[in-house]
């Protein structure tokens, strides 16, 4: 039995160090932290550096008042992941 992706919740409580510490124990599993992750460069890069495969963004991404803000945040977040 395999599980290709595991959701880590609540991410803000556990922090990037949690993913970093369990990643070696489960090398074939991808982790997706979600819950309380801010849309900013340092936060996103710290999760990716810790070994997160994907990041779930909720209210911090969708809190803007217009679609342009949401699109801009999505584009910027993807750029930070690629760096």
Task: Give pLDDT tens digits for 18-36.
Answer: 999 999 999 999 999 999 9
pTM of the model: 0.85
Q: What is the pLDDT of residue 60?
A: 83
Element of type H or E holding 68: helix 67-82
Token pair belonging to 2: 């395999």
Dist CA 32 CA 36 (whole Å): 13
DSSP, res 43: H
Q: What is the pLDDT of residue 59?
A: 84
| Per-residue pLDDT band at 83 (split at 50, 70, 90) | confident
**Do the Cβ atoms of 50 and 24 come closer than 8 Å?**
no
Asked if the model's pLDDT at residue 50 lies above 70, the reply is yes
Q: What is the pLDDT of residue 47?
A: 97
């Amino acid at each position: 039995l395999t599980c290709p992706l595991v959701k880590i919740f609540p991410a803000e409580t556990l922090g990037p160090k949690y993913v970093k510490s369990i990643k070696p124990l489960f090398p074939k599993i991808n982790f997706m932290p979600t819950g309380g992750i801010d849309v900013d460069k340092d936060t996103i890069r710290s999760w990716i550096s810790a070994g997160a495969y994907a990041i779930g963004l909720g209210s911090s991404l969708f809190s803007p008042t217009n679609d342009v803000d949401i699109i801009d945040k999505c584009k910027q977040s993807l750029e930070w992941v690629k760096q």
